[in-house]
Every structure is written in C-alpha cells, then in structure tokens.
Structure 1
Amino acid sequence: MDKVYNMSIFAKVVEMGSFTAVANHLDTTVGNISRAVSVLEQNLDTRLLQRSTRRLLITDAGRRFYERSIAILADIEQAEAEARDAQLEPRGKLRVHTVPGIGRRLVARAALAYRRAYPDVSVDLLLSQRMPNLLEEQLDVAVVIARTLPDSAYVSQKIGVSHCILAASPAYLAQHPAPEGPEDLAEHTCVLLGTVDYSPDEWCLESAGGRVVHRPTGPHFGVNDMDAMSTTLKDGAGIGLIAAFSAIDDLRIGSLVRVLPQYHTYERNVYAVYSSRRFVDAKIKRFIDVLKVDVGGELNAYAAELGIGIEQV
C-alpha cells in the first residue's frame, strides 16, 4: 500500500479513536484500516498503537509520528491545491521568447497588459533572432513569425498575420524616382533583410493582379534586424521590405513612404508556441488569449490601414 495513504489512515485512526469509525467514514472495511496501520508499523519497525478489544492507545513513538504526519499531509494537500490552482488562476513566473521586431513593437506591450491583468505573474521577456529550445531554456511561450512551422513536439496557436510592404525615405525618393512597377526595382538600391523569418534572396510580392518575384541584384545594403531596417531606410539607404508593424508609425508621420503601394509580401503567420497540449498552466493560456487580442488585433488594424486583406484568426 502507498506510504502516504497509510500515513493518512493512521492519522485518521488517531483522530477518530477507532478502526471502525475510520472504516465507516471511508466506506471500507475494518480489515483494510487495520492492515494499513500494520504495514506502516512494519515499515517503521515501530509500534504506533497499542490495541485492545476495548480501546486504542497511541504510543510515544506513535504520537511523534502523528505530529510529523499531519504536517507532511498538510504540505501535500497544499502542494496539490497549488497545482490545481495553476490550471485555474495565473500565478508564478512566465518566461517568453520572441524575435526582436515584433517583440519590441507589440509583444512587450501585450506582456505589460497581461501583467496589469494578472499581477500575481512575473514576466521575463527574452528577445533574439532564433527559435529557442523551450524545454532546455525553461521557456513557457515563444512568439514566432513563419509561413509554416516545422514539425516538432511543440504545440502552436496562430495569433495573427504579418505582412511586409516596400518603403523608402522621402529623401531617397527625391533623388531616385519611385518605381512604377516591380521591374523598376532593378534600378534601385535594395535594402535586404535576412533573418530566420525572411530570406533576402527574393521578394515575393502580391497584389490584386497576382504575384511577382523580384530577385535583388547588384549593390545592396543588408541587415538582420527589423529595427535596423527601419533606421537604414529612414536614413536614405534605398528601398526595402519592412514589416507593417515596424513601418506604420513612420508611414503615418511621413519619415517613410510606401513604394508600389499596391504590393505587399505574402502573409506570414504569427504563432504562440509552447511545449505541451496537456495540463497547460493558466498563466500560459491567459497570455495566449492576450496575444490574440492585443497582437493579433494590432496586426489586423495595420493591415486594414494599409489596404491589405485581413484574415481572421
């Protein structure tokens, strides 16, 4: 029989004063109760109760063991309650990984909103240009941008859709007439973004008229960070593909201008990735809910403002 079970039976016998009372309380037999206490005594090699036909007496060793047992049983009960609560109420520490561009622009704000809603959760937000190992790095959630996710043991939920658009600074376009079609991009300096999410080798552009692929050639400027892309474009480096979430503020104030506004890249999905489908902590569930509303909602709003078709998540 289980040691903790036997311990709990012994504690009830002490508290209720008889095997019969405990057997009736637990809807079992007196023999089962007596056997649980006997197994415990055999394992401890110690007499815990003195039995007679009329009454039970607890020994000194039994009294000491009882006092320790009820403390241990209380700790176990508390641990179980906390584990159950983890499925119901967000608490503890949430470790989140995200790529820098969307992390700085959207995920950080969503994490702050989450903290305000669930103050019992501490949030660590980690930014880097890679897909992490969630288990080895003890991460709860990773926010990933990709057309499709590779097969893995991880679980994912789609939280939104991201697009890139072509943009340049007014200063650059003042010196280099804006292209009228994708074929004119060959006459411009292209600023290339190369990250885990974006290939610099080809620009797949879509419009109502269909899809066209531009492969930048000749001299170019390359970066591997969306914020660096924004900076170089505003400084007049050329024309580049930049995510709507990184460009929107600059487009609004005019420090960037959209080029070939009828075109955008094919959509990339934004995923929340976590390690297990079973027994997901409430802190993770609620964070993904916040991501869908805050990050997914913002991405939809940007797409609508830029005239890009929106897909509901």
Structure 2
Amino acid sequence: MATDKLIAMKVFRRVAELGSFTRAADDLDITAATVSKHIAFLEQDIDTRLINRTTRRMNLTDAGLAFLKRTQALLDDLEEAELEARGFQAEPRGTIRLNAPMSFGLTHITEAIDSFLERYPLIDIDLQLCDRMVDLVEQGVDVAIRVRSELADSSLRAKALRQSRNVVCASPSYLTNAPEIRSPADLAAHNCLLFTLHDRPNVWQLGDEAVTVRGNLRTDSSLSIRQSLLRGLGVGLLPWFLVQRDIEAETLVPLLEAYPPKGYTIFALFPPGRRQPTKVQLLVEHLDQHLGDQPYWE
C-alpha cells in the first residue's frame, strides 16, 4: 500500500471519528488544509465520495461509513503487526477511544484509567463520558462500558465484567417528615426522582411488583439525582455503585430491601467484526482486575 494512501486513511479515520476537519487537524498536528488534501486524494484514488461537507457540518456517506469500518480494522491490524515484528519488546502504544456512562465513569473508571496510563505511558486514552448509547463504528470507539440488564444490539461483541444492582433510597431529612415506606405501593405518596434513560422511567420493578411512580424531577443524569437525594428532594432508584458510600455514611437510607430491584450487568462492548488490538485487551484486563473478583462497592 502506498505511503500516501496509508497516511490519507489515517487522516480520514480521525476526521470521521472526531466529526471535524479542524479537530482532526489539531489532533494530528497538521493544518486543516492538509487534512482536506488527504481526504480529496483518498476520494479521488478510490473514486468515491466518503464525506459530505458544508461550511457548517460534515457527515459520512454510506460508502464512507463502510470504508471507515474497514479502515479502522486495517490500521489496528497494522499496529498489531508492528508490535509483533518488534517481538513484543516494545511498549504498547497508540490511542484507545473509550466510551463510558457518566456516573460509572467518574466514580469507578477514571481511577482505573489513571493507574493504567501509569503502567503503559505510551498509550493515550480518549475518554468519552456519555450515558446515551453511541454508534461504536461511526464514533470510532474501541471499547464502550455499558450498564444494562440486557443488550438490545446483538451485533456488538460483548464481555460481561461484573453484576450489580439498584437500590431505592432517600435522605434521613426527607424521610423525617414523609409518609412511611413499607411496601412498593407506598411510593405513590412520595416524590420519586426519575432517570429518563431507563426504558420506563416512571415504572420501578421492585421484587415481583411493578409500581408506577411520579415526581417533580426528571433527568438523564443519575449523578444529578444523587445530589438531589442528598439535599432531601425525594426518593430515588439508583445504582448501588453510585450511592454505596452515601449509605455507609448514613447520608442516604436504603428502602424496601425486601423488594430488590432487578439486577444488571456491567459490559465491555466492542465494534462488530473486529479483533481487539493488544492495547484494548490490556485495558479491559486492567479494568477487570481493578473491579476485583467481587466488585469493591459490594
């Protein structure tokens, strides 16, 4: 493969993954004009438009999306081949694009990333914290961490890391002047804070009972709900990994423990049809060790 074409493919990959010619230029430490020349060369070489672009935005064509998937796999394989050619004597290097939920990422992933980067100083991590599912191929994500009871997209390659659970809880200050909560039905008399990224935010499955709840706060941030619970706004249904320390400190109180919510799995997800590069495998192994045989928050 000609050197010019290989460089152009690397530039195209960063443009597609970052969604911007300017951001790709900054990332690659070249000019935006040089980025444009590489993309034009690549489109002319394969006689196909890969990117539709205007003065305000850009998006991949169908051909561009398909080409990106192949380009990512090819460049990752080349990186692996270089590592093998060195006899694995060289330190793993390169960039890992990691996507994780905001709450789990901030409370449990960033610490593991710090120790990973200390161990592998030639690796860079591009961390995206987002509670919403993203297209791993289009966004150029190497590995995504997701907290789900089940996976809707069966085309993604997945590795189950740990099991965890949710808990109903509230602050002592809220409970002091609120009606008693002895059964799930009692929640009807309470201000329940709703996490909008749940499949059914206002239906809480507690044990064998599905109860409809209502409240004056709806948000796509479980971190925001935690803060509101600590300030005494109402009752919440949150991951144990997020509130375990609050419950131990008795700033939040677990409720309805005889009616445990449905459990869920913490998954590592990978783009379909691609073998994970060594650097990605090392990161997932490091996360696995960091979480412990039994999650430390349990």
The question of 1:173 aligning with 2:168 is answered no
What is the one-letter code of the residue matched to 1:262? A
Task: Judge conservation of contact 1:202–1:215 (CA < 8 Å) in 2.
Answer: yes
The aligned counterpart of 1:52 is: none
The aligned counterpart of 1:25 is: none
Deviation at 1:283, TM superposition (A): 0.8
Once the two structures are superposed, residues 242-272 of structure 1 have per-residue CA deviations (whole angstroms, 9 ceiling, x without a partner) of: 1111101111212111112233311111111
Once the two structures are superposed, residues 19-77 of structure 1 have per-residue CA deviations (whole angstroms, 9 ceiling, x without a partner) of: xxxxxxxxxxxxxxxxxxxxxxxxxxxxxxxxxxxxxxxxxxxxxxxxxxxxxxxxxxx
Give 1:295's match in structure 2, choosing from 288, 291, 295.
291
TM-score by length of 1: 0.64
Task: Judge conservation of contact 1:91–1:121 (CA < 8 Å) in 2.
Answer: yes
TM-score by length of 2: 0.67
CA separation of 1:84 and 1:150: change in aligned 2, threshold 3 A? farther
The aligned counterpart of 2:153 is: 151
The root-mean-square deviation of aligned C-alpha atoms, in Å, is 2.7
Q: Which moved more, 1:180-189 or 1:92-101?
A: 180-189
Could you tell me which runs of 5 or more consecutive residues in structure 2 were left unpaired when the two chains were aligned: 3-77
The aligned counterpart of 1:203 is: 204
CA separation of 1:171 and 1:239: change in aligned 2, threshold 3 A? same
Separation in 2 of the partners of 1:154 and 1:86?
Answer: 31
Following TM superposition, the consecutive aligned residue runs of length 4 or more in structure 1 with deviations greater than 6 angstroms are: none
Task: Judge conservation of contact 1:161–1:296 (CA < 8 Å) in 2.
Answer: no
Deviation at 1:291, TM superposition (A): 2.0
The aligned counterpart of 1:84 is: 84
Separation in 1 of the partners of 2:103 and 2:86?
Answer: 31
Alignment size in residue pairs: 221
Task: Judge conservation of contact 1:165–1:263 (CA < 8 Å) in 2.
Answer: no
The question of 1:227 aligning with 2:228 is answered no
CA separation of 1:80 and 1:121: change in aligned 2, threshold 3 A? closer
Task: Judge conservation of contact 2:80–2:278 (CA < 8 Å) in 1.
Answer: no
CA separation of 1:302 and 1:262: change in aligned 2, threshold 3 A? farther
Task: Judge conservation of contact 1:86–1:282 (CA < 8 Å) in 2.
Answer: no
The question of 1:128 aligning with 2:96 is answered no
Once the two structures are superposed, residues 106-147 of structure 1 have per-residue CA deviations (whole angstroms, 9 ceiling, x without a partner) of: 111121122122222111111112111222222111111112
Deviation at 1:281, TM superposition (A): 0.8
Separation in 2 of the partners of 1:160 and 1:248?
Answer: 16
Task: Judge conservation of contact 1:86–1:281 (CA < 8 Å) in 2.
Answer: no
Separation in 2 of the partners of 1:284 and 1:86?
Answer: 19
Separation in 1 of the partners of 2:166 and 2:276?
Answer: 33
Task: Judge conservation of contact 1:99–1:127 (CA < 8 Å) in 2.
Answer: yes
* Mapping 1:1-313, distance limit 5 Å: 82-84=82-84, 90-195=92-197, 197=198, 199-206=200-207, 211-217=208-214, 219-276=215-272, 278-295=274-291, 297=293, 300-303=295-298
Could you tell me which runs of 5 or more consecutive residues in structure 1 were left unpaired when the two chains were aligned: 4-77, 304-313
Task: Judge conservation of contact 2:179–2:190 (CA < 8 Å) in 1.
Answer: no
Task: Judge conservation of contact 1:97–1:141 (CA < 8 Å) in 2.
Answer: yes
Deviation at 1:81, TM superposition (A): 5.1
Task: Judge conservation of contact 2:83–2:92 (CA < 8 Å) in 1.
Answer: no
Task: Judge conservation of contact 1:87–1:279 (CA < 8 Å) in 2.
Answer: no
Which protein is bigger by CA-based radius of gyration?
A: 1
What is the one-letter code of the residue matched to 2:297? Y
CA separation of 1:287 and 1:79: change in aligned 2, threshold 3 A? closer
Task: Judge conservation of contact 1:163–1:267 (CA < 8 Å) in 2.
Answer: yes
Deviation at 1:276, TM superposition (A): 4.5
Separation in 2 of the partners of 1:220 and 1:289?
Answer: 42
CA separation of 1:116 and 1:276: change in aligned 2, threshold 3 A? farther
Separation in 2 of the partners of 1:199 and 1:291?
Answer: 30
Once the two structures are superposed, residues 149-191 of structure 1 have per-residue CA deviations (whole angstroms, 9 ceiling, x without a partner) of: 1234321101112211011011001111431111211111111
